[in-house]
Structure 1
Amino acid sequence: MINNLRKLNILYVEDDDFIREHTTLLLKTIFKDVYTAKDGKDGILAYKQHYKEVDAIITDINMPYLSGLEMAKKINANCKLKRPIIAVSAYDCDDYGITEISENFSHYLRKPIQIKDLIKSIDKAIKGEVGDYCK
């Protein structure tokens, strides 16, 4: 599984600088390339700039300027190349509504995330396997 992931490029969207920097370092040991963004608005710009290279998106949900949920809705509605989007959040998915979560994300993970769970979710999402919600 890891060897397959080394060929993939990821867009990682997280508003917390410390979490974004440290998680990015870890993700760079697993994936070919990792693009980052600091919020949903920046995430849309990064996706537009790198959409041909990005294989999957990992995003926090609760962020300033534009939430991860709103970012996912805009990307899903406006992009010809659909990419799996994995949500990570400190909140229970019931706080957002299971319908909105399942319609906009391939998988949903609660923080603090375990890297093995994130890798498994990305691998499943890339294969088109729909997700783990509300765990």
Structure 2
Amino acid sequence: MIKDLQKLNILYVEDDDFIREHTSSLLKSIFKDVLTAKDGSEGIDTYKKHHNRLDAIITDINMPKISGLDMAKRIRKNCKQKTPIIAVSAYDCDDYGITEISKNFAHYLRKPIQIKDLLTSIDKAIKGEVGDYCK
């Protein structure tokens, strides 16, 4: 699995500066390239600029300006490409509605996340496998 992940380019969207810097540093040691964004608005802009080379998106849900859920909806609505999006949140997915989560995200992980779980979710999402949403 790890060998295949080293060929992937991902976008990581997280509003907390410390978490974004720490996690992206770790992700950069695993993936070919990791682009970052500090909120959903910046995530959409980054996706528009780099969509043709992105293999997956990892996003927090609760963020200022545009939430991760709204970002995912806009990406899904405006882009033909089906880049898998993995949601990461401190909140239970029931807070957002299981229908909204399953329609817009390939996988949903609760914070604090284990890197192994995140890598497994990305690997499955790239292969087209949907995840368990409300564990």
TM-score when scaled to structure 2? Answer: 0.99
SS at match of 2:53: coil
Counterparts of 1:3-18 in structure 2, within 5 Å, are 3-18=3-18
AA of the residue aligned to 2:126: I
Alpha-carbon offset, residue 109 of structure 1? 0.1
Alpha-carbon offset, residue 134 of structure 1? 1.1
Counterparts of 1:1-135 in structure 2, within 5 Å, are 1-135=1-135
Structure 1: distance between partners of 2:132 and 2:39: 23
Structure 2: distance between partners of 1:20 and 1:27: 10
Number of aligned residues: 135
Structure 2: distance between partners of 1:106 and 1:5: 17
Identical-pair percentage:
79
SS at match of 1:51: helix
Structure 2: distance between partners of 1:59 and 1:74: 14
Structure 2: distance between partners of 1:18 and 1:31: 20
AA of the residue aligned to 1:59: T
Structure 2: distance between partners of 1:112 and 1:74: 26
Kindly report structure 1 stretches of 4+ aligned residues shifted beyond 6 Å.
none
| Structure 2: runs of 5 or more not aligned | none
| Structure 1: runs of 5 or more not aligned | none
